[in-house]
């Protein structure tokens, strides 16, 4: 087995036992990136010399007998919406084409403190607005299982590089499903933590009350390991919650006794592909075989979650993206104009169509005369969505259902129909509105060989139990071990 086929946990153990050096691990993954990148286009930047320098530093610390972090020598890919000191951070947008941050995001600081090797920055939908990574101003990332299909979005590059064995683990962000949806479509594990569990410091904001940073991995153990490394309180983020982070990897293999799984009827209605439903229901039956009880629950306001999300998120985006005006940093138009003209032309040239669309929607719903009719009403719906989950969790440990309504669609298939694209997130947005943790794990394949994801949703800050429940299924199936031809 190649080093590039090993999990992060295996790489940590192998290096600790002297079976491989961090330099050898880095070389293996750099070779995988060079080999597969022409097909996948998952990365927007990889500095091979810097990767080798980081690996050499880890090896030097090991030889000197110095303490090493829990991710020592493990290559980690990072979504290009997270600031990296001295490394260009574009958000896959022309408006930030030349932006080089002077500081690291909190999660990048944590990776470095744990002796991880930052492998590179991954492609995404521009400013994390999209469900297919086709909205990137830089390139279109492709699904490793079928390179004519999308990898999901907005964290498509982070999902594709893990599925394509270019990186053992990666970080993405999830505002309405942007970790879980691409994880499902690429056949990997993706985790959206509880809002406040991971600091957003250094994350270029899309919708500040919804954004969360989380891991992609090939299995549940690696996802638990990466979240364990980056989670925790950070005083620089006012929404970061000050509570201890469990050692998820210590308990991940412990089964959950008396497990009750909530199955919401609203997740199995119109629009769900029959192959996806069959795979998800088979996964639920597997849990029953292991002693779990399936409980019928209802999330009556979930049909309104998508509409509420596409008011709240664009409203916050309209505010957050106002800073990109062509004056302070980023793209500035070369056309001569007055102040307002410079703003308009710079933003018109720098932002793509989807970002412009969401800014316009957000500005409209916050405008005088419409705020109460749209934005305030959406916030009320958001509260009702949260209440639905609170009531469901009184009857069950976790809610389960499909992550996405279909498997990966073809590149260009929905580009001209924004509403059809938005429906890709129909099962994921309510998790962000409620602020609860969620994850997607592989649970099967379509007849055409495309991955299908099972979504788990848990009460706030119960990631530890969520990992254990996910691992129960993973331990008796082999979906997560299958590899794409690429």
Instruction: Give the count of beta carbons closer than 10 Å to the beta carbon of residue 258.
Output: 8
Rounded distance, CA 95 to CA 91, Å? 9
Find all residues with CB under 8 Å of 136, minimum gap 6, and list them.
92, 123, 124, 125, 126
Q: Tell me how far apart the alpha carbons of residues 407 and 426 are, in angstroms, rounded to a whole number.
A: 13
DSSP 406: S
How do strand 260-264 and strand 117-122 relate by DSSP bridges? unpaired
Whole-number Å distance between alpha carbons of 45 and 118: 11
Q: Which is catalytic among the residues 131, 132, 136, 154?
A: 154
Q: Are strands 117-122 and 189-192 parallel, antiparallel or unpaired?
A: unpaired
Give the Å distances, CA to CA, from 191 to 93, 232, 415.
25, 15, 26
Structure tokens at 44: 């927007």
**Widest pairwise Cα distance in the chain:** 70
The contacts of residue 147 (CB under 8 Å, 6+ apart) are 39, 40, 486
> Is 178 one of the catalytic residues?
yes
**Smallest Cα–Cα separation from 54: which of 71, 37, 42, 79?**
71
CA pair distance 383, 226, nearest whole angstrom: 31
Tokens of 340: 């307002």
Closest CA to 119 of 61, 81, 170: 170
User: Which of these is catalytic: 79, 192, 345, 465?
Assistant: 79
Measured between alpha carbons, how far is 125 from 136 in angstroms, rounded to an integer?
5
Catalytic annotation on 154? yes
79 flagged as catalytic: yes
Instruction: Convert 74-95 to b/e letters by CB count within 10 Å (16 or more is b).
Output: bbbbbbbbbbbeebbbbbbbbb
Beta bridge partners of 122: 43, 79
Residue 18 corresponds to which tokens in the numbers above? 């002297």
Here the tokens at position 189 are: 């594990």
**CA gap 313, 316 in Å, rounded:** 5
SS3 at position 329: coil
User: Choosing from 93, 136, 178, 430, which is the catalytic residue?
Assistant: 178
Angle of the 377-393 helix axis to the 305-320 helix axis, nearest 10: 120
33: tokens are: 């990136």
Residues with catalytic annotation? Answer: 79, 154, 178
């Amino acid at each position: 087995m190649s080093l590039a086929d090993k999990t992060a946990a295996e790489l940590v153990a192998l290096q600790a036992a002297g079976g491989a050096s961090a330099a050898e691990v880095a070389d293996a993954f750099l070779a995988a990136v060079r080999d597969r990148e022409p097909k996948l286009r998952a990365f927007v930047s990889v500095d091979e010399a810097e990767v080798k320098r980081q690996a050499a530093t880890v090896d030097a610390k090991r030889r000197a007998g110095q303490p090493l972090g829990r991710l020592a020598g493990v290559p980690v890919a990072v979504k290009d919406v997270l600031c990296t000191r001295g490394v260009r951070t574009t958000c896959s947008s022309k408006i930030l084409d030349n932006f080089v941050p002077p500081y690291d995001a909190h999660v990048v600081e944590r990776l470095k403190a744990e002796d991880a090797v930052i492998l590179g920055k991954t492609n995404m939908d521009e400013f994390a607005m999209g469900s297919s990574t086709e909205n990137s101003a830089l390139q279109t990332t492709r699904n490793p299982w079928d390179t004519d299909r999308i990898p999901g979005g907005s964290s498509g590059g982070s999902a594709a590089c893990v599925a394509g064995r270019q990186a053992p683990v990666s970080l993405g962000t999830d505002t309405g499903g942007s970790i879980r949806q691409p994880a499902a479509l690429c056949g990997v594990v993706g985790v959206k933590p509880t809002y406040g569990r991971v600091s957003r410091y250094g994350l270029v904001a899309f919708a500040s009350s919804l954004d969360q940073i989380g891991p992609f991995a090939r299995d549940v153990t690696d996802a638990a390991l990466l979240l364990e490394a980056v989670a925790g309180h950070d005083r620089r983020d006012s929404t970061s919650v000050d509570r201890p982070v469990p050692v998820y990897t210590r308990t991940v293999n412990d089964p959950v006794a008396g497990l009750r799984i909530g199955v919401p009827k609203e997740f199995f209605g119109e629009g769900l592909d029959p192959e996806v439903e069959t795979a998800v229901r088979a996964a639920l039956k597997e849990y029953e075989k292991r002693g779990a009880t399936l409980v019928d629950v209802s999330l009556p306001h979930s049909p309104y979650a998508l509409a509420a999300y596409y008011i709240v998120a664009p409203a916050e985006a309209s505010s957050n993206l106002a800073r990109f005006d062509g004056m302070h940093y980023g793209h500035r138009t070369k056309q001569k104009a007055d102040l307002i003209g410079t703003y308009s032309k710079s933003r018109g040239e720098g932002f793509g169509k989807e970002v412009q669309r969401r800014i316009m929607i957000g500005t409209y719903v916050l405008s005088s005369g419409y705020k109460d009719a749209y934005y305030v009403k959406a916030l009320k719906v958001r509260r009702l969505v949260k209440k639905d989950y609170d009531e469901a969790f009184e009857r069950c440990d976790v809610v389960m259902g499909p992550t996405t309504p279909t498997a990966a669609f073809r590149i260009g298939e929905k580009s001209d129909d924004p509403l059809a694209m938005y429906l890709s997130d129909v099962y994921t947005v309510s998790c962000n509105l409620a602020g609860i943790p969620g994850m997607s794990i592989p649970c099967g394949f379509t007849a055409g060989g495309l991955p299908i994801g099972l979504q788990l949703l848990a009460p706030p800050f119960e990631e530890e139990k969520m990992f254990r429940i996910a691992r129960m299924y993973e331990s008796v199936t082999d979906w997560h071990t299958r590899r794409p031809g690429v």
